Structure 1
Amino acid sequence: MLENARRAGALRMPREFSPARWLRESSSALVPIALVVGAGVGLGAVFFRWLIEAATQLFTGYGDYSDQGRVPHAHLLELGIWFVIGVPVIAGLLYGPLVSWLAPEARGHGVPEVMLAVAERGGRISPRVPVVKSLASAICIGGGGSVGREGPIVQIGSALGSGVGQLLHVGTPRMRLLVACGAAAGISATFNAPLAGPFFAMELILRDFAAESFGAVVLSSVTASIVGRALLGNHAFLALPSFSPRNALEYLFFAVVGGIVGVVGVCFSKVLYLIEDACDWLWRGPEWLRPAVGGVLLGGLLLALPEMYGVGYPVLQNAVQGHYVLWMLLLLLVGKMVATSLTIGIGGSGGVFAPTLFIGAMAGTACGQIVHHLLPGLTESAGAYGLIGMGAALGGATRAPITAVVILFELTGEYSIVVPLMAAVAIASGFSHLLSKDTIYTRKLLRRGINIDKPPQTIVGELAVGKVAKDPPACIGENVGLPEIAKLMAGKSQTAVAVVDDRDIYRGIVTAQSVAEALADPERAVATARQLAELPPTVIAADTVEYALDELVGRAGTGLPVLSDDHSRLVGWVTHEDIITGSARVGAT
C-alpha cells in the first residue's frame, strides 16, 4: 500500500528532528531527563528539610526537640513543659484542612501511594501532591508528629518525576521510570546515600531491575546526592561509631538478634494499622478536624516521653552510642511504636522509614546489652547490635533486604559489618514472610482491596494493550495528496488512516473529518497527508488497557494508534470495541 502511494506521486522529504519527540521516545534522552529530575528533587529535599527545621524552631524554639529532655519552649518559658500538649493540636489545625481539602493522598506515610501510582495509574501523580505534602509533613513533624521525613520526600520526589513525565507527554513505561527516579533521588538526598536510593526505588517502587531503568535511576540518585552535598555538606545524617565483629561466634549472635528484631519490625507494622483502625472507629467528626483533636492524645504522650518528638534521630544516635540503660531502650521502643502509629492514625503526614530504623536500633541495642552482659569478652559493644537491628527491622517491615543492607553500609562506611548485616537482614525478611502476607507498605493498599502483587491478567484493566489491539490499518506516505487520501478512505470505509514517512516512521493520522473539511476548502485542495495529519494520544503494546481507555476519551470514532516501544512505528490499532471483545477473549482463556 505504501509503495502504491509513492508511485502516485509522493515526493520524499528528509526526516525532521523533533526535540519533543526525542525527549519522549529516545533512550539517550533519559540522561538529561534523569539529571533534571535528580537536581529538582535534590533541591526539593533541601527545601523540605529547611521547612521541617523552621517548623520545629517555631513550635519549640529548638532545631530538634527530641534530645532536649523535659524543657519548656525556648521563648515561652512561662508555659513550662506543658506547651507540648498544645503544639500537636495547633499543628493539626494547620495541616488537617490542608490535606483534607487539597490533596487527601498526602495523608499518611506516602510510599504506598507512590507504589499504587506506578502499579495501577501509569505513574501519574497529581501536581498538587509535592506542595501539599511538603507543607503538611513539615508542619506535622515540626509540631511533634513522631514520623519520618523519608516517606514524604519519596512521595514529593516521585510526584516531581511524574510531573516532568506529564509535561513531556511520555508513555507509561517511561512515566513509571521517572517516578522511580524521583523516589531514588529523594532517598539519596535525604540520607546522603546515593547507593541506597536506586535500590529502594527498584525494590519497592518499580519492583524490577531492568538495566536501562537502573541506569537512569542511578543517575538521578547521584545528581540529587551531589546537590544535597553541595547545599548541606558531605555529612552522614547520623554520626555512628565504628563497629566490627570480634570473633566468628558473634556472627551467630548477630543472626539471632536479626531474627528477633525482624519479628519486632513485623509487630510494628501490625501495631501501626491496629491503632489506625482504632482511630477510624472512634472518630465521627470531619476529617479536617481529626488531627487537631487527636493531637491532644499525641501531646499527652509527648509530655510523658518528649524523646518521641519529631523524627528523633538524636535519640537513635544516643542509643547506638550506649547512652541509655536497658529499661529506657525498651520504653523508647514501645513509645516510638505507639507515637508513630498515633500520629498516622489521627491523620498525620509523615514516613515510617525512619521510625522503623529507630525501633530497630532500640531493639537491637537492647539485645546487644543483654548479650554483652552475658559474654563481655566475646562480643562487641551493644551499639553494633543496634546497627544490625536497624537493618533487620527495615528488612522485616518492608521486605526490601537489598535496600536495608546498602543503606546501613552507607551510614556506617564499615565493610566489616556487611556480612553479619546481610545474614541478619535475610533472616529478618524470612521471618517476615512467615509471619505476614504483607509489608508495612502493601498492607495499606490491601486494606483498600488493592493487591499490587497479583498477576496482571487478573483484572481486565491491567491487560496489556498488545493483547487486545488489532492489526494496523493501511498507511499512506506523508506526501500523498488529498484526492488520493479521499479515494482510499472512501474505498476502504475507514475513518482514519495512518501517515508514515519514507522510512515508515509514524507521523500521525488523517481522519475522515479532516479530509471532508479540506475538500470543502478550495485553498486546501493541494494539501498533503503531512499537512492534514494530527497527533492524537498514542499507546504502546505494553501499556495497560486502563490507560488506553483514558486516552480513548473523545476518540470513539477513530480509535488510537498502537506504536512500538520507541514510539516510531505503527504496530496496531485499538478501539473501545477491540478492548471489549479482546478482554472477553483473554478472560475466557
Structure 2
Amino acid sequence: MVLAVVVGAGAGLGSVAFRWLITTFTHLFSGHADYASAGGRANPHVPWLGPFFVVVAPVVGGLLYGPLVDRFAKEARGHGVPEVMLAVAQRGGRINPQVCVVKALASALCIGSGGSVGREGPIVQIGSALGSTLGRVAKVPTEQLRLLVACGAAGGIAATFNAPLAGVFFAMELILGTFSAEAFAAAVLSSVTASVIGRAAFGNTAFLALPPFHVQHVAQYGLFALLGVVAGVVGVGFTRVLYWIEDACDWAWRGPEWLRPAAGGLLLGLVLLALPEMYGVGYPVLHKATQGGYVIGFLLLLLVGKILATSLTIGIGGSGGVFAPSLFIGAMLGAAYGAIAGHLIPSTAGNVGAYALVGMGAAFAGASRAPITAVVILFELTGQYTIILPLMLAIVLAAATGRLLSHDTIYTLKLRRRGIDLRTPAPPGHLGTKWVDTVMEAAPQPLPVDTELLAASDELTRSHHGVLPVVDAHGRCLGMLTARAVAKALADDPDGQPLRVGDLVQPVPVITTQMQLATAVHALAAAPGTGLPVLDPGKEHLVGWLTHQGALRAMHGAVPTPPAAVA
C-alpha cells in the first residue's frame, strides 16, 4: 500500500510533466496553444510558410522522436496500453525502466508536431513503467509487481483527466482484467494520490465544461439505444481501419525504422493541411461539437478525418493513445446523429450535446469493450449525472455490438496480430513461471545474408540444427535458412538456383529474452528444425537459441546450456 501511494505520486508528477511537454512542443511546432482550434492560421514563428507549415511539422517531429524510439525503447511506439496489458498478463509486470522517459518525450513530440493521437495511452505506459521499476527495485513478488503496474496506470489516468474513479476502473477492467479487494484498495490509493497532485496543478474542474443535459421525452431512450448500436459499429470500424492502415504502412515502408515517422509525416502533414482540426488531440474541436457548433456534413467529415489521421499517425510509427480519438469520433457521430434526429423529429429529439456526450462513451465502449470504465470516465470528464441512464444504455449496447462484430478490442487486436492471446492461460508448472533468457541455449553460428547458396548448404550439412539464422551486415537477424528450402531450390532449378541465402531466408516469429516462455512455446511448436532464434530486447540481434528440448527441460526444472556469445 505504501508503494501504491509512491507510484501514484510519481504518476501524478509524471502527468504534470507530460502535459507541460505537450504544451511546450505544440507551441514550438505550431505557435499556438492548441492548433486544432486555430482555424488553419499560420505559425507566427515561420509566418512566411503560411498554413503550409503543418506539412513540415510532422516531418521534423518524426526526425526527432523516430531515432529516440528506435534506439532506446521500441515498445514506446504505438498507443501503449496493449504493451502494459501484455506485461501484466504474461511478463510478470516487467517493463523496461527507460520507457518512462522515452515514451514521454516521443509522445509529446508526436502530439506537439501534429500527431492526431491522445495522451492517455502514453501516461498509462509512463505510470505503469514507473510502478514496474519501483516494484523491481523493492523486489516485491510477481503478483504485487503486476498490481503496482496497474496502480501506475490508475494514477496516470486519474491525474491527466481529473478522474480518480475512472483511473481505478481503467486499471481494474483493462489492465488487470479482474477485481479484488486488495487490487481495488491499492488502485484507489494510487489514484487518489495522483488526483491530488493533478488537481493542485490543473485545478478541480470537470475536464469538459458542458451545460446540463436532460432527457426531455421518454422516446429519446429509443434514439439513444440506436445511437449505441451505431457507435458500436463505428468503434469496431475504427479498430479495423487503424490496423489496415498500419499494415499498409508496414507493407509500403522499406527503409530504416528510425526514418519511418519522418517519411510518413509528410502524408500526415497533407491531411492536416486539408483538415487542420486534426492537429494534436483536438479537445477544443470536440468541445465545440458538443455545443452544436458544426453542421452535419462537417461533423461527418471530422469523424472520417479523425479515423484517417489517427490511423496514419500510428501506422507511420507515431506514439500516442487511441482513447481520446475514440471520444472525438464518438462526439462527431453523436452530434451528427442528434442533429439529424432534430431535423426529423424536432419535438422529441432534444439537445444535440446530449447525443454527442453519449456518443463519446459508446464509441469508446464499442472499440474497447470496457463498459464500466466508459460510463465512469464520461461521468467524471463531464460531471453530467443527469444523462447517466441513456449513457449507460447506449454504452452497454455499443459494447454488445462490438462483441458481436469482433473477437478482439482495439487493444487486444494489436497483440493477437503478434500471435498473443491474453485470454489463453499460461501452462501450469515450471513453464508458466520461466523466461526465455533463463532457458535459451547457445545459438548456432549465423549465416551472413550474402553467403553463396552452395557454401550455406555445406554449413547446414555440418549443423545438427537443420536450420541456421541469417544476419545482415549490421548483425541484425533477418530470419532463418532451412535445409528443406535449400534442397528444394537445388532440386527445382539446379542450373539457375539463387546464389545467395538472402533469396531463401524465411521470417520467423519474434522471440526476445524478455518474453515469457509460456508465450514463446506457441511459436516454437510450429518451428522448423530444432528451434528458433532469440533476439535482444531491441528485437534485432541474435543472442541465443530456444529449442524444444530446452522448453521440456524447463518443465522439469533442468538447467539449460548457457548461451555463448554470437559472433
Q: Please, what TM-score do these two structures have when normalized by structure 1?
A: 0.74
2:334 aligns to what? 364
Q: In structure 2, the residue corresponding to 1:457 is in which secondary structure?
A: coil
Deviates more, 1:238-247 or 1:398-407: 238-247
Structure 1 residue 380: deviation in Å? 1.7
> Following TM superposition, by how much is the alpha carbon of 1:419 offset from its aligned partner in structure 2, in angstroms?
1.0
1:429 alignment counterpart? 399
Determine the structure 1 residue equivalent to 2:246. Answer: 276
- Corresponding letter in the other structure for 1:450: I
In the alignment, which residue of structure 2 is the partner of 1:322?
Answer: 292
Aligned partners of 2:362, 2:179: CA distance in 1, in Å?
23
Corresponding residue of 1:212: 182
Residues 135-181 of structure 1, C-alpha deviations (whole Å, 9 max, x = no match): 00000000000000000000000001111101100110000000000
- Matches of 1:459 and 1:386 in 2, distance apart? 50
- Percent identity between the aligned chains? 64
Residues in 1 aligned to 2:145 and 2:256: alpha-carbon distance in whole angstroms: 35
Equivalent of residue 555 in structure 2, options 572, 577, 580 = 580
C-alpha displacement at 1:458, in angstroms?
Answer: 8.2
Instruction: Report the alpha carbon displacement of residue 239 of structure 1 after superposing the two structures with TM.
Output: 1.8
RMSD: 2.1
* Aligned residue in 2 for 1:168: 138
The CA distance in 2 between the partners of 1:69 and 1:545, in whole Å, is 52
User: Which letter does structure 2 place at the counterpart of 1:442?
Assistant: T
Which among 298, 303, 310 is matched to residue 333 of structure 1?
Answer: 303
- Give the Cα–Cα distance (whole angstroms) in 2 for the partners of residues 580 and 116 of structure 1: 22
Q: How does 1:399-418 map to 2 (within 5 A)?
A: 399-418=369-388
Whether contact under 8 Å (1:200, 1:403) holds in the other structure is yes
Q: Residue 91 of structure 2 aligns with which residue? A: 121
What is the alpha-carbon distance in structure 2 between the residues aligned to residue 168 and residue 144 of structure 1? 39
Partners in 2 of 1:399 and 1:208 — Cα distance? 14
Shift of 1:381: 1.1
Cross-structure match for 2:125: 155
1:266 aligns with 2:236: yes
Greater C-alpha radius of gyration: 1
The offset of 1:457, in angstroms, is: 3.4
Report the AA paired with residue 61 of structure 1. G
Alpha-carbon offset, residue 464 of structure 1: 10
Q: 1:132 aligns with which of 88, 99, 102?
A: 102
Deviation at 1:332, TM superposition (A): 0.2
Q: 2:405 corresponds to which letter in structure 1?
A: L
Q: 1:451 aligned to 2:421? A: yes
Residues 1:43 and 2:13 aligned together: yes
What corresponds to 1:395 in structure 2? Answer: 365
Q: For 1:93-132, what aligned pairs fall within 5 Å after superposition?
A: 93-132=63-102
- TM-aligned CA deviation for residue 416 of structure 1: 2.1
Task: Indicate the residue corresponding to 1:288 in structure 2.
Answer: 258
8 A Cα contact 2:214 2:387, kept in partner = yes
C-alpha contact (below 8 Å) 1:110/1:151 kept by paired residues: yes
Measured against aligned partners, the alpha-carbon deviations of 1:361-399 in whole angstroms (never above 9, x if no partner) come to 001111111111111121221110011100100100000
Contact 1:34/1:178, CA 8 A, preserved across alignment: yes
**Cα distance in structure 1, aligned partners of 2:266 and 2:227:** 36
Q: Is the 8 A contact 1:330 1:363 kept in 2?
A: yes
Q: Secondary structure at the match of 1:415?
A: coil
- Equivalent pair of 1:166/1:175 in contact (CA under 8 Å): yes
- 1:71 equivalent to 2:41? Answer yes
Q: Does structure 2 conserve the Cα–Cα contact (< 8 Å) formed by 1:107 and 1:347?
A: yes
In the alignment, what sits opposite 1:379?
Answer: 349
1:561 corresponds to: none
| Deviation readout 1:238-266 (Å, 9 max, x if unpaired) | 22221111121111110111110111011
Structure 1 SS opposite 2:421: coil
Code of the residue aligned with 2:49 in structure 1: it is L
Separation of aligned partners in 2, 1:443 and 1:129: 22
Mark the CA change 1:405 to 1:455 in structure 2 (over 3 Å): closer, same or farther.
same
1:104-127, Cα deviation, whole Å (9 max, x unpaired): 000000000000100111001000
How many angstroms apart in 1 are the aligned matches of 2:234 and 2:211? 24
Contact 2:58 2:113 survives alignment (8 Å): yes
Unaligned ranges ≥5, structure 2:
436-515, 520-550, 559-567
Q: Following superposition, which runs of at least 4 residues in structure 1 exceed 2 angstroms of deviation? A: 455-465, 544-547, 576-583
Q: C-alpha distance in 2, partners of 1:256/1:311? A: 28
Query: How high is the TM-score relative to the length of structure 2?
Result: 0.77
- Opposite residue 289 of structure 1, the aligned amino acid is L
Question: CA distance change for structure 1 residues 577 and 427 in 2, over 3 Å: closer, same or farther?
Answer: closer
Deviation at 1:193, TM superposition (A): 0.3
Residue number in structure 2 paired with 1:15: none
Counterpart AA for 2:404: L
Distance 1:115 1:422 in 2: 25
Bigger shift: residues 373-382 or 359-368: 373-382
Instruction: Indicate the residue corresponding to 1:513 in structure 2.
Output: none
Return the alpha-carbon distance in structure 2 between the equivalents of residues 281 and 546 of structure 1: 30
**What one-letter code is carried by the residue in structure 2 that aligns with 1:580?**
M
Tell me the equivalent position of 2:153.
Answer: 183
SS in 2 for 1:239: coil
Note the residue ranges of structure 1 that are not aligned, 5 or more in a row: 1-29, 466-543, 548-575, 584-589
1:340 partner SS: helix
